[in-house]
Amino acid sequence: MDVGDPVVKLENVRKQYGSFIAVHQADFSIGRGEFFAMLGPSGCGKTTTLKMIAGFEQPTAGHVFLEGEDVSHTPPHKRNVNTVFQQYALFPHMSVFDNVAFGPRSKKLPEAEVKTRVAEMLDVVRLGEFAQRRPAQLSGGQQQRVALARALVNYPSALLLDEPLAALDLKLREAMQIELKRIQREVGITFVFVTHDQGEALTMSDRIAVMSEGRVEQVGAPVDIYARPETLFVAGFIGSANLLPGTIVSSDGAGTRVLLLDGTQVVVAAGNSASSAALSQGNQVTVMLRPEQVVLGAEGDMKVFVTDTVFQGSSVRVVGRTSNNTEVSAIVPAGSSVKAPSVGETVSMHWHVSAPYLLEGWPETAGSTTTNVDSIEAAL
């Protein structure tokens, strides 16, 4: 994973606590000015990776480079990165101004410069008039912006954000996502942020590293990760997907023919497969279909018995079962010419020839990833 001008570079980084391996082998770079997300369920190692970049943890093996310099074992106060902590960790005994001035004062900058820098940064986060308040007198969103200003005022090589929006409620979180993007554009500093919320990662980042159980599953732009997941985990974790297990019947230049477990055959267009998937006859593979790619109607081989319909405003989510009892879901745009079927009907499923996508192996649970409560809970 090469980027032109890496600010942060992880080289085969591994972190082990006793016999527990928190991070297996992180190996990626983050480019200058990039908005980079580390995404994964809790316990996937994303926060540990962030802490190794910040200096609060040291890698068991491998190297962390910052601006080309090996900082693997440099303490946090000697690294030019700053962190926005979960729950912000603002100093409660200091005013907003003193909180933001903390870093510049540690660096022993002249007080006049500290003043102008802090004032400037408080303006960037639109908190100029709150300088003399205590953190406890501010709302959650304002505290969040103080934390941001306190880190950014040092002009770090990279700003690290640990679940920065998790403590905010939904409306505020959405507003802060836009605000964060604005601030990042304004200051032009590399942002590395950790989140378990895939929506947040997809909307905000330039690139995402998807992690699971200590492994980096895939690094790429949101569009690529959504459309061309490398592993079953990524396919299921990002967005929702129908994962249909089957076996390869034949494969040639025109495409790959897969026999699904319910007996239907699907043709996957050539090139529409994860790079890791081996396309030889008899291999166990999974066909991924995004719910919005599924069209319900009269044509198609795959019969679906509709068990539930959920109105979602701009669309209707239809949940049904295939002939071998695999749950699948489809999204029907509201107000389109196609009317959503009602519960109890049996309809056929079809899709555009370019829709099916092939992944190596079989999933733990076949079918729709959004209706499986266990897998969603495990991801939180």
Partner 1 sequence: MVLVAIGIVALAAELITGALAVLLFGVMIASVVGIIWVAIMGGIETRRALAPYGLLKPGILWLSLFFLAPLWAMMEMSLSSKKSRFDFSPSFSWEWGNYSRALTDFGPQFGRSFLYAGIATILTLLIGYPLAYVIAFRGGKYRSLLLGLIAVPFFTSYLIRTLAWQNLLSDSGPVVSVLETMKLENLMEWLHIMDNGRLINTPAAVIGGLTYNFLPFMILPIYVSLEKIDTRLVDASMDLYTSATGAFRRVVLPMSLPGIFAGSLLVFIPAAGDFVNAKFLGSPQTTMIGSSIQDQFLVQLNYPLAAAMSFVLMAIITASVLVYAKFMGTEDLT
Residues found near partner 1 in the complex (CB under 8 A): 54-56, 75-78, 81-83, 85, 87, 89-93, 102-103, 106-107, 150-151, 154
* Residue among 78 and 171 whose Cβ is closer to partner 1: 78
Is residue 47 within 8 Å of 28, Cβ to Cβ? no
Is residue 197 within 8 Å of 230, Cβ to Cβ? no
Is residue 240 within 8 Å of 370, Cβ to Cβ? yes
* Residue among 57 and 262 whose Cβ is closer to partner 1: 57
Min CB(103)–partner 1 separation in Å: 4
* Residue among 98 and 292 whose Cβ is closer to partner 1: 98
* Residue among 104 and 341 whose Cβ is closer to partner 1: 104
- Cα of first residue to Cα of last residue in the chain, in angstroms, is 27
* Residue among 56 and 351 whose Cβ is closer to partner 1: 56
* Residue among 87 and 281 whose Cβ is closer to partner 1: 87
Residue 253 identity (one-letter amino acid): G
* Residue among 89 and 202 whose Cβ is closer to partner 1: 89
| Chain Cα centroid distance, residue 223 | 11
Distances in Å between the Cα of 324 and the Cα atoms of 135, 162, 218, 244, 261 are 57, 43, 32, 11, 7
Is residue 30 within 8 Å of 3, Cβ to Cβ? yes
Q: What is the DSSP letter of 195?
A: E
Min CB(135)–partner 1 separation in Å: 11
Min CB(95)–partner 1 separation in Å: 11
Min CB(325)–partner 1 separation in Å: 48
Residues whose CB is less than 8 angstroms from the CB of residue 274 and which lie 6 or more positions away in sequence, other chains included: 228, 229, 230, 231, 357, 358, 359, 360
| φ/ψ of residue 126, rounded to 5 | 60, 45
Min CB(6)–partner 1 separation in Å: 21
Range 214-253 burial, b when 16+ CB lie within 10 A, else e = bbbbbbbebeebbebbbbbbbbbbbbbbbbbbbebeebee
Min CB(200)–partner 1 separation in Å: 22
Min CB(131)–partner 1 separation in Å: 17
* Residue among 92 and 282 whose Cβ is closer to partner 1: 92
**Quick one: tokens of 296?**
């319900």
Min CB(63)–partner 1 separation in Å: 21
Min CB(280)–partner 1 separation in Å: 51
- Residue 241, helix vs strand vs coil: coil
Cα 239 to Cα 379: distance, rounded to the nearest angstrom: 12
Is residue 81 within 8 Å of 66, Cβ to Cβ? yes
Cα 239 to Cα 369: distance, rounded to the nearest angstrom: 9
* Residue among 121 and 340 whose Cβ is closer to partner 1: 121
